[in-house]
Amino acid sequence: MNETGSLMIIGGGEDKTDAKDILQKFIALAGGPQQPIVVITAASKVPNDVWEMYRAAFEALEASHVSHVRINHRGEAEDEGLAQRIAHARGIFMTGGDQKRLVTFIGGTRLEQAMRGAYENGACIAGTSAGASGMCTHMLAEGKAELAPEKGAARLGAGLGFVTRVIIDQHFSERHRINRLLSAIAQSPFLLGAGIDEDTALIVHGDGVEVAGQGSVTVVDCRHARSNVADIAAGAVPHMLDVRLHLLPSGCRFTSADQEGALADFITYLTDRTSEHDHR
């Protein structure tokens, strides 16, 4: 078996028309423009339109073996021929849309198993927007908290499990989602939260992480915070004391050996290779 591959967790809105830095990085992590790449549009209700955007972008970057995986219902994700195609891909890119739709269609199927096999053999697994949220074991399924981190404003669901003990939120700064992430983390304080800005990627490989693109990654840690969230009514705003926050701008590179405390744990959780089934 080859070395485990990499994860590319993108906050959505990646540039598809100009420099395309994030997509270029994805191609490089997949081994170059001659390697087989698949684009999974299962999260989208307009898969052909989404595929056409990525087809044009990857074509402009001279990627020569890019194909579309369109999943219209869960049964299609059990196809053995498709699973073999996924298993031999070196880059697997999950587009945006609705993360619940993505997981409903592919979670626990032969397609997902083939993705995991490809990852364990060195492929790059990427997800943008809904595709990013869906990569987690504990997925931020839905929620809205614009003015305050109200109890119950965010709901978690089971995701694909490539990332353990970290909740991913996307379009983070652009859509002012700090309160939504705080709401989720306050109610599940054993998890860490990572908010990823648009046109920004959190890249996980080996024993380290890096941030690429135009924005930042915000890490929220409530594991040692004091809160009354368990005692208040739904819709009320909890007090949250000693919440820890880390900002990782583009260009940052870290390994767990370089860090202590919450950031070291964050890296350890992201690079954990344990099967997702052990965390569910």
- Tell me whether residue 216 is one of the annotated catalytic residues: no
State the Cα–Cα distance between residues 210 and 16, nearest whole angstrom: 21
Amino acid in the structure at residue 7: L
Which neighbouring-strand residues pair with 195? 169, 218
Catalytic residue among 44, 171, 227, 276: 171
In the chain the beta strands, taken as DSSP E runs, fall at 6-10, 37-40, 66-69, 91-94, 124-128, 138-143, 154-158, 166-170, 192-196, 200-205, 208-213, 216-221, 226-227, 240-241, 244-249, 253-255
- Tell me whether residue 171 is one of the annotated catalytic residues: yes
State the Cα–Cα distance between residues 265 and 90, nearest whole angstrom: 28
Q: How far is CA 210 from CA 8, 53, 103, 127, 128, in A?
A: 10, 26, 26, 16, 16
Catalytic residue among 129, 133, 216, 227: 129
Catalytic residue among 14, 112, 150, 198: 198
DSSP 74-97: GGGGG-HHHHHHHHT-SEEEE--S
- Tell me whether residue 146 is one of the annotated catalytic residues: no
Residue identified by tokens 């368990």 is 230
The whole-angstrom distance between residue 275's C-alpha and the CA centroid of its chain comes to 17
Catalytic residues: 129, 171, 198
